[in-house]
Amino acid sequence: MTAHAFVAVTLLYVYCMWSDLVYRRRSLVGLAAFLAAQVSVLVVGALIATATHAWHDIGHFFTTVGAGGLTGLLAGLAVVLLTVVSSACAG
């Protein structure tokens, strides 16, 4: 398994663990609200990128970043998600 695949699988595992935590604590209504909040953030981000005509810059960033840089970005996101999950489990 390459480093990229390992980071992607770890990110998926942490995201699913986070979703399961929300479901166990808040039931189906909480999970639906959690997913709706995520979709809302993505839609608002897309609207902001469209309004500022930043799609070219976003595409340029992802095409110029190398495989190691993208793996680092995904690993950082996995660490942030894991930190949020572990702090939510402790409280």
Q: CA nearest 2: which of 68, 73, 69, 80? A: 68
| pLDDT value at 11 more than 90 | no
The pair of three-digit structure tokens given for residue 9, joined into one six-digit string = 């699988």
**Higher-confidence residue: 64 or 3?**
64
Residues 6+ apart with CB under 8 A from 19: 31, 34
pTM attached to this predicted model: 0.68
Domain ranges of the chain: 3-90
Averaged pLDDT for residues 34-41: 89
The pair of three-digit structure tokens given for residue 12, joined into one six-digit string = 């998926």
What percentage of residues in the chain have a pLDDT greater than 90? 22
The pair of three-digit structure tokens given for residue 30, joined into one six-digit string = 């909480």
| C-alpha–C-alpha distance, residues 70 and 63, integer Å | 10
| pLDDT value at 91 more than 70 | no
**Residue 54 pLDDT class (50, 70, 90 cuts):** very high
